[in-house]
Structure formats: structure tokens, C-alpha cells
Amino acid sequence: MNGFKTMMLLAALTALFMALGYTLGGTGGALIAFLVAAGMNLFTYWNADKIVLRMHNAKEVDAASAPQLHGLVAGLARRAGLPVPRVYLIDSPHPNAFATGRNPENAAVAATTGLLAILSREEVAAVMAHELAHVRNRDTLIMTMTATIAGAISMLANFGLFFRGNDSRGNLVAMLLAVIVAPFAAMIVQLAISRTREYGADRGAAEIHGDPRHLASALRKLAEGASRIPNPVAARNPAAAALYIVPGLGRGDSLFSTHPATENRIAELERMAGELGLHGTPPLAEPAPRRAAVPPSRRPTSALNPLRRN
């Protein structure tokens, strides 16, 4: 049912794109808009992961260059019944993470150095479990495709305003629909998909990781850090904000946010923890002290970061 709803929303976006093309160029405009939408869908299907990773200047790491982070993701993937995805690190102080790829066999997960600097090992594991839940639910491709079409609708509307703004014969109502209503509708559809899938990925993360409290703790830290530290990628391309585990721009607490309110997500995770009989602060919610005697499984998050030397 979730996949069916997504396909219906994508079909609605494509139809909206065609309607905008018809408004601006008649039957020929609608045909061109349909061909452009189809072309974008095909291109994004095969290149979604490359587009997103290149946008963030992400660097792939493996078991040799980042043994703890890669091993953590590999273990969670096996627990989730997924192929081990490619693992990427982004050298950025902005604390966030995302997953991309057209299917579980071609997936990638990425985290910033800023995220690894503020989370404990178990919190990092919970975040990676969230991203793997996106992969398992096949959210990654849909979100990228939706953002691409929504952005194209806004671009086409701007072209229409530029090329037909002085055309006195143009239908004023149609132009208003093309320039204002169509991009707004596309944005609403994109946000609706994002919010629904974030709740689904949170539930999946709790299932894969086993303790919802760690993801709740991670979300608190990430939301606070992301609101303080700018994200240059999302600033240049706002459509990318829907990809992250917490909003890339601002807070997820308004009608126009790409994410549900973080407080609501945390409350839902805490409710799940209560149903599992887990109460109070989870163990290792804070980074462990930096002591040589600490066993590898309890080392602070900085040990997961290959760019930071102990």
C-alpha cells in the first residue's frame, strides 16, 4: 500500500508537470513536459546515488579506512536482511546523515564528521539503522525523484513568468496557476512523502537496532546541532533537505518543513520503547570518556571517525 501511494503521488507530480506545460505551451507544451518528466525519472533512476553523493563531496570508506563505522553498518545490514551498502563519509561540521540509491543492491549510506563527533556509538548505530530502514522501504529513490520533479516544476513556472509575463493575450488566471499554484502543489506533495517516510524509517530503525531510545537520543542532539550549524548543500539546493535524518534547513515543526517535528518523532520512539519495557535513559547515551582502557566496543564516537586521530 505504501508503494502504491508513492506511485500515485509521483503520477500526480508528472500530471502537474504536464498541466503546467499545457498552460504555458498548449498541447505541444504538455507533450514536451511529459517527455521531460519521463526523461528526468529515467535519469534519476540510474544516477540518484551519484547525484546526491557528488553534491555532498562524499568520500567512500571501507573496512580498511574506517573499520568501526563500516563494521557497524555491515552488522546492521545483516540484521536487517539487506546487502551491505556502500559507506560514505562527508567532511562537514553539520551533523546529519542520509541514504541514497535506486534499490537495496545499489544503496549507499553517508554520515558527516559532525554527526560522528557528537553521538555515542549506539546513537550512531541507531542513525545508520534509520538510513537502512529507508533503503529497505525503498524510500531513497522515490525521495530523490520527487525532489527532482518538484524542482523542475518550479523552474518551468519561472520560465513561464519570464517568457510570457508581458503577453497581454495570456490568460491571467492560467498564468497565476502556472506560476504560483503548481509549484506550491508540488512542494506539498514532496513534503507529504517526506514526512510519512520519516516515521516509517524511525519504526524500522527501532526494529533493526532493538532500542528506540538510542534513536530518540540521537535525534535530540542532531536537531539541536543542525539548527546551529549551517548546511551549505541544503542552502544551495533546498530540495536536498528532504534527504536527511533531521531537517537540513531549520526545524521540522511547520507546514512547509520536509520532516515531522522532531519532538513528535521522539515522543513516538519513547512510546515504542515503553511498549518494549524499556524506560529511562539508555545506556551509553553520552560519548564514553577518552581512556585507553575503554574496550573497543565502548570507545567514543571519535573512534568511528577516520578523519579524526586519537
Nearest alpha-carbon partner for 34 in 8, 3, 9, 11: 11
Q: Give the phi and the psi of residue 268 in degrees, each rounded to 5.
A: -65, -40
How many CA atoms lie less than 13 Å away from 142 in the CB half-sphere? 27
Q: Give the phi and the psi of residue 89 in degrees, each rounded to 5.
A: -120, 135
Length of the chain: 310
Place of cell 529513490: 141
Active-site pick, 60, 105, 123, 131: 131
- Judge whether 131 counts as a catalytic residue: yes
Asked if 101 contacts 135 with a C-beta cutoff of 8 angstroms, the reply is yes
Q: Which of helix, strand or coil describes residue 256?
A: coil
Q: Residues 233, 236, 241, CA angle at the centre, nearest 5°?
A: 55
Local structure of residue 255 (DSSP, 8 states): T
Place of cell 520560465: 159
- Positions marked catalytic: 131
